[in-house]
Structure 1
Amino acid sequence: MSEIRSVLKRVERHLAKSKVGDDVARDVEAYVVKLKAAIESDKTGGFRKDLSASRQAAKELEDIAVAKLGYKPKSPTREYVESIGVAVLVALLLRAFVVEPFKIPTGSMIPTLLIGDHIFVSKFTYGLRVPFTEIFMVEFAKPARGEVVVFTFPVKEARAHVKNTPREQACIDEGSLREPKDFIKRIIGLPGDVIEIREGQLYLNQNPLPRTLESRTPTGSFMAPVLTQERETSGEYTYTIQYRRPHEDFGPVKVNEGHFFVMGDHRDDSSDSRCWGQVPMENIKGRALFIWLSLSDQEGEFIRWSRFGSTIH
């Protein structure tokens, strides 16, 4: 039916632009009316409709348009190519301005996000950018504490940070310092905030972030015998973090203007702002929305069905 309607619209547009006499216009319009009536008749046919009347009327309309208006019908190949072109353009526009898919490659956000989770990222939340650049045309909002965001790794800032940081504290691979790639972390500190960690407890502006114990699980490791999971609250978000080494100290560090301090939920297995510094606003691509696919590499489990559609908090 979409092909038939397409013929009707194209001929009507061609007729409106054609400079023909009233008699020719009336002849063509008669076939337009006939096709519209056939379309309405086929619409009421329910499951039994075969669209034969509409197809015949569309062919007759094209034939008279060719004969009297100089109309050139589109070939099936052209129709196919144009359909693909429109679909590709829509996909590119959606990716540039609205949503973008992202695959979780590492365990730095466990347990919130697992390796193999495929998520959608809203690129519309914080504003509209010039396509394929980091320049905002218009900004709608700033990232909030506790939000999970995808960002382009800040190579320039990280190089400067690593240069002035003891090597054992600069936990970043050399590849990330050479070329930009996408990271996903949680916003912990906003511009002007002071971030500090004492004995594993995260402090924001000298106040400990609220936490409640969720579980403690033996790991069988002598160096890190217990895996602890806790519920932490930052801003409007409450989420689960986990760690094996509870005695970390860091900071205090003040977040620079126009920058954000980010951390992974897997606190002792995440390369984040503790390692390579802060993330500029222009590097943030968007906010993580939900999981649309989750693939596991565990034996006997290929698809994690229970994670489909899970909102990311």
Structure 2
Amino acid sequence: MTLFQWLLFILGLQVIHFLGTWKLYVKAGRKAWEALVPVYNAVVLMQIINRPKWWVILLFIPIINLLMFPIIWIETIRSFGKNSTKDSFLVVLTLGFYIFYVSYMEDVKYIENRSLKPRTAAGEWVSSIAFAVIAATLVHTYFMQPYTIPTSSLEKSLLIGDFLFVSKFHYGARVPMTTVAAPMVHDTLPLVKTKSYLDFPQLPYMRLPAVQKIKQNDIVVFSWPVDTVEQFFKRTNRRIRKPIDKKSNYVKRCVGIPGDSLEIRDGYVYINGKKNELPDRARLQFYYETDTDGKALSVKSLRNRYHVREGGRLQDGNYILNLSDEDAELIRKNPTVKSLNKRISPKGEREEVFPNVSSLNWNKDNYGPVYIPKKGATVALNKESLPYYKRIIVEYEKNALRVENDKIYLNGNSEPVDSYTFKQDYYWMMGDNRHNSEDSRYWGYVPFDHVVGKPVFIWFSWNSDGQGISKVRWERLFTTVGGSGEPVSYFYPFLGVLAIIYGFSLYRKRKKAA
């Protein structure tokens, strides 16, 4: 929606509110015009229903307001004596329009000092659950979001089955663009497996101030820019166009930041001509082909010994293993291993990688160089450079583009353009598991408006290959994602703090009882 359309929409809501409530405002001892003035009418309404004025703020926070509106409707009719369960259901089912009936058809009286305590145990439960969901949604949307690692693209650094807390405030929380959506879920409703949101109306992109910028080699959660799948992990021929904040979430390492020139040589990233030095916790992995002496060393024993997740027999005695360079060196020392060779696509051997220009002859291991766009930077625009930036210009920065006789025209202008200035920053995201990661090599740049947050904490980790209690990776519980050296678990200190808090609470209760 454009700004003008939003103004009309908000004006329409104010008119509906005025028509439905002005008589109730008057019965509560207020002036009729107070029901018409935006924001002020909400403040007055909080006074009428005897609720705190800060509730008004919640009415203007996307998604949170969807939960607050039914509560305000119920509180409004209860302030005029409509306390039955039937009344509450009617006002919610009619999206608040039952207030029109109460206002014009019922001779209700304002109850100034009504009790705010729910009249039944069920009502108290509903009230408690509603505000628990509001609080959880507020935290989930603007502060910290739980996330599960679904794939092995960052294996060794983050494992399949890691449960993370992702900080929204490090890079600035992104205000939801999708205004009508179910709280606490992403793009799909559980159980019924249908869309959890409406495509209309959409807010323009906005972001809260950031605590820090994305740095090179940060692990970042972002909305997958080219996502058109109806449900993640269930890819069908059906393609849908999703709002940015409802695209599937990916987690990768940011190896290139705005303004960098990036190149990949034999699987290793070079930034501005210099080899990228990863943090000591990161472990690059590649596919290796090994030749062993018969059955002396099985693929199962190799996988168990070196914690390899993937492997398979090619032919008698030959295996493909996904290894870090350090583990590869250890395997080479095994006397039953005849050879162990990294499977690197040679330079000049073409694969289907971004920007899919056949003359480039790039592949996943020998790639580039590419320029990573920076906000405000200007690049030459011609038929050679257009494949790199076309998606940015059209999809991410919403320009109309056409090409005629090798000349490029933007936004219906009659004069061709030979340069383009970027409106936002872009990033290059890759997995440490280089041969098993769907990343920027295949679909290009990640715009900043697609950035979700920064993983900061592993609170739980589940190994589906384990048995019994060993399915829990105890050593990974309550560990930090960043930092150097071996991760340290803070699980037992956490349990100690909980025990102290519980003991102190128990002591206070007994002392009070005495």
TM-score by length of 2: 0.39
Tell me the alpha carbon deviations over residues 29-63 of structure 1, each in whole angstroms, 9 at most, x when there is no partner.
xxxxxxxxxxxxxxxxxxxxxxxxxxxxxxxxxxx
Distance 1:152 1:305, change over 3 A: same
Distance 1:130 1:176, change over 3 A: farther
Counterpart mapping for 1:53-132 below 5 A: 73-75=117-119, 76-132=121-177
Match status 1:227 vs 2:323: yes
Distance 1:121 1:201, change over 3 A: same
Tell me the alpha carbon deviations over residues 249-280 of structure 1, each in whole angstroms, 9 at most, x when there is no partner.
11111112210001011111101011110100
8 Å CA contact 1:294, 1:308 repeated in 2: yes
Match status 1:304 vs 2:400: no
Distance 1:309 1:175, change over 3 A: farther
1:150 maps to: 221
| Cα shift at 1:176 | 11
Letter in structure 1 aligned against 2:323: L
How many angstroms apart in 1 are the aligned matches of 2:222 and 2:151?
A: 15
For the residue of structure 1 that corresponds to 2:479, the secondary structure is: coil
| Cα shift at 1:79 | 2.2
8 Å CA contact 1:153, 1:283 repeated in 2: yes
Letter in structure 1 aligned against 2:209: E
8 Å CA contact 1:224, 1:245 repeated in 2: no
Tell me the alpha carbon deviations over residues 61-113 of structure 1, each in whole angstroms, 9 at most, x when there is no partner.
xxxxxxxx775753233222211111110000001100111111111110111
1:238 maps to: none
| Cα shift at 1:210 | 3.3
| Cα shift at 1:154 | 0.4
Letter in structure 2 aligned against 1:83: S
From 174, 187, 190, give the equivalent of 2:257.
190
TM-score by length of 1: 0.61
Distance 1:130 1:71, change over 3 A: closer
Tell me the alpha carbon deviations over residues 170-190 of structure 1, each in whole angstroms, 9 at most, x when there is no partner.
xxx887975631110011111
1:199 maps to: 266
Distance 1:123 1:210, change over 3 A: closer
For the residue of structure 2 that corresponds to 1:138, the secondary structure is: coil
How many angstroms apart in 1 are the aligned matches of 2:441 and 2:465?
A: 31
Letter in structure 1 aligned against 2:478: G
How many angstroms apart in 2 are the aligned matches of 1:129 and 1:229?
A: 38
For the residue of structure 1 that corresponds to 2:122, the secondary structure is: helix
1:139 maps to: 209
| Cα shift at 1:244 | 5.0
Distance 1:255 1:246, change over 3 A: same
Q: How many percent identity over aligned positions?
A: 34
1:268 maps to: 435
For the residue of structure 2 that corresponds to 1:149, the secondary structure is: strand
1:209 maps to: 276
For the residue of structure 2 that corresponds to 1:81, the secondary structure is: helix
The more displaced of 86-95 and 290-299 is 290-299
For the residue of structure 1 that corresponds to 2:251, the secondary structure is: strand
| Cα shift at 1:142 | 2.5
From 423, 438, 448, give the equivalent of 1:281.
448
CA-based RMSD of the aligned residues comes to 3.5
How many angstroms apart in 1 are the aligned matches of 2:238 and 2:163?
A: 21
| Cα shift at 1:297 | 1.2
- Structure with the bigger RCO (C-alpha within 8 Å, sep 6+) is 1
Distance 1:151 1:296, change over 3 A: same
Say which structure is richer in strand.
1
Match status 1:245 vs 2:343: yes
Distance 1:71 1:223, change over 3 A: closer
Q: Structure 2 stretches of 5 or more lacking a match? A: 1-49, 51-112, 179-203, 229-234, 291-298, 300-312, 327-340, 346-364, 375-424, 483-514
The more displaced of 177-186 and 92-101 is 177-186
Distance 1:175 1:123, change over 3 A: farther
How many angstroms apart in 2 are the aligned matches of 1:215 and 1:107?
A: 12
For the residue of structure 1 that corresponds to 2:254, the secondary structure is: strand
For the residue of structure 2 that corresponds to 1:92, the secondary structure is: helix
From 356, 366, 373, give the equivalent of 1:256.
373
